[in-house]
Amino acid sequence: MSLQLSVREQIEQEIRQRGPMPFSRYMQICLYDPSSGYYSRNAEQFGKAGDFYTSSDVHAVYGRLLARQFDEIWRALDRPVEIEILELGPGRGLFARDVLDWCDKKFHDFFAALTYTLEESSPALRTKLQETLRAHLDAGRAAVPEERPSLAHRFSDGYPAKHDQIPEGRPTGLCRTLQPETPLIVFANEFFDALPVEILGTAGKLHLALEDNRLRETWLPPLAEELDFLDRYGVQPEEGERIEVPMAAQRWAQQIAQSIPCGVLLIIDYGYTRNEQLAGRYRGTLMAYRHHSASPDPYQAPGEQDLTAHVNFTALATACEQEGMQVENLLTQSQFLMGIGERNQFADAFEDCQIPQERAKVALQLKHLVTPAGMGENFQVLIASHGIDPKRIAGLSGLSFTGGSRLSAFSYQLSVKAIVVVPVGTWSLKTDS
């Protein structure tokens, strides 16, 4: 009988075998180890009984408003006979269910053209998706592809690549159900913030080592590409700072941008721009979430807590632009949802309400999605398109609250309400710097 190792035991074993572990590898094992990782083990991370809420946990109106936006994008593409939505990291599939249900009810022509693919790396969540989306899967409207062998570890496992470790036939391109030339909308809600990051400080790049059989932090020289990333899209760390380098997110963005023949990428996440980092904000955003409380210490409960870092929107936007996509001004979730919803006074939210008390409850849920005190300004929306007339993209309702001229990826400005300050010294492991 083989004994299953805990996440901590796996980390320690790998350090013994391969040497000091880059922080991104630690994060990858904690979150995505196929048997014991936080997301792989079970599907109980979300909602009141779990560790955190996402927008789809609040109310179906989130998916319904996005369904309206997807229908507009399909029209802007001149109503192709087939279109695919590829959702990255769909979790339990609530968003996909809300979108598909609403399209079925309200946007019949779009629904008839639509195939909805869900790319989810967690085995437990893929099982949950089968439940949530049973009707749409049976109807052939949705697809949950099996995990490809190296999907979760698609780009690198954080350790410097050795020649003999580069997997043969590494998958390239996105996990699509329809032919690659079919118009595509890639949607990612809180996907990029869940990807492993490297951490750089003035002493180098953060690694974990073993000393007397205990984990400890150690700092080794960073790769040239990591320093280059910070020069271009972020800031170099100052004394006491720990700055994230989201290389995996950047490679995902590049690959997505290369794989959209004609269509749109829509990313909704909490994040920052380079200008904001230069102004002294978001200089270290890694957080752990457990039972709805946040901690800056990623070592408290490996495999038992979510680990997340804000996304660098300047870097993602630039990756899209470099692949020839047109990138719109960064919007707040509030601006985006208000733009979509105001045209029919948020009828999508209130349609099922029978009595005033229900309306009042839904109004509060909607308020949570759009107001600064809720999720309205902590979350931002990045929209990039390829192969669509820019005027038609500019006419999307979600963009109706955006300002005049298009900003370059290097000059985004945002009104920011949430300032994340991670106090130095709150990471619990002993460090050698």
Ligand X SMILES: C[S@@+](CC[C@H](N)C(=O)[O-])C[C@H]1O[C@@H](n2cnc3c(N)ncnc32)[C@H](O)[C@@H]1O
**Measured between alpha carbons, how far is 427 from 295 in angstroms, rounded to an integer?**
9
Cβ burial of 95 (10 Å; 0-12, 13-18, 19+) is: buried
CB of 216 to ligand X, least distance (A): 27
3-state SS of 45-104 is CECCCCCECCHHHHCCHHHHHHHHHHHHHHHHCCCCCCEEEEEECCCCCHHHHHHHHHHH
In this complex, which beta carbon is closest to ligand X, that of residue 91 or of residue 201?
Answer: 91
In this complex, which beta carbon is closest to ligand X, that of residue 67 or of residue 409?
Answer: 67
Q: Identify which range of 84-92, 256-264, 359-367, 415-423 contacts ligand X by CB under 6 A.
A: 84-92
In this complex, which beta carbon is closest to ligand X, that of residue 90 or of residue 341?
Answer: 90
**Measured between alpha carbons, how far is 122 from 92 in angstroms, rounded to an integer?**
10
CB of 27 to ligand X, least distance (A): 11
CB of 140 to ligand X, least distance (A): 22
| Structure token pair of residue 388 | 């669509």
Rule CB under 6 A: choose which of 14, 119, 244, 328 binds ligand X.
Answer: 119
Q: Is 152 in the site for ligand X (CB under 6 A)?
A: yes
Q: Is 73 in the site for ligand X (CB under 6 A)?
A: no
User: Which residue's Cβ has the minimum distance to ligand X?
Assistant: 89
Q: Is 72 in the site for ligand X (CB under 6 A)?
A: no
Q: Is 121 in the site for ligand X (CB under 6 A)?
A: yes
In the block, residue with structure tokens 């807590």? 305
**Measured between alpha carbons, how far is 290 from 28 in angstroms, rounded to an integer?**
17
CB of 130 to ligand X, least distance (A): 14
Q: Is 89 in the site for ligand X (CB under 6 A)?
A: yes
> Long-range contacts made by residues 135-138, C-beta under 8 angstroms, separation at least 24?
136/96, 136/97, 136/100
Q: Identify which range of 88-96, 106-114, 281-289, 425-433 contacts ligand X by CB under 6 A.
A: 88-96
In this complex, which beta carbon is closest to ligand X, that of residue 114 or of residue 311?
Answer: 311
Rule CB under 6 A: choose which of 24, 156, 189, 380 binds ligand X.
Answer: 189
Contact (Cβ atoms closer than 8 angstroms) between residue 174 and residue 256: yes
CB of 283 to ligand X, least distance (A): 22
Torsion of CA 204, 206, 210, 212, to 10 degrees: 70
Q: Is 24 in the site for ligand X (CB under 6 A)?
A: no
In this complex, which beta carbon is closest to ligand X, that of residue 46 or of residue 102?
Answer: 46
Rule CB under 6 A: choose which of 33, 84, 190, 198 binds ligand X.
Answer: 190
Is beta strand 142-143 parallel, antiparallel or unpaired with respect to 114-119?
parallel
Q: Is 36 in the site for ligand X (CB under 6 A)?
A: no
Q: No. of H helices and E strands in the chain?
A: 17, 17
Q: Is 33 in the site for ligand X (CB under 6 A)?
A: no
**Measured between alpha carbons, how far is 159 from 153 in angstroms, rounded to an integer?**
12
Vertex 410: Cα angle to 407 and 412 (nearest 5):
50
Q: Is 246 in the site for ligand X (CB under 6 A)?
A: no
Interface residues toward ligand X, by CB under 6 A: 39, 46, 54, 56, 88-91, 119-122, 125, 151-152, 189-191, 194
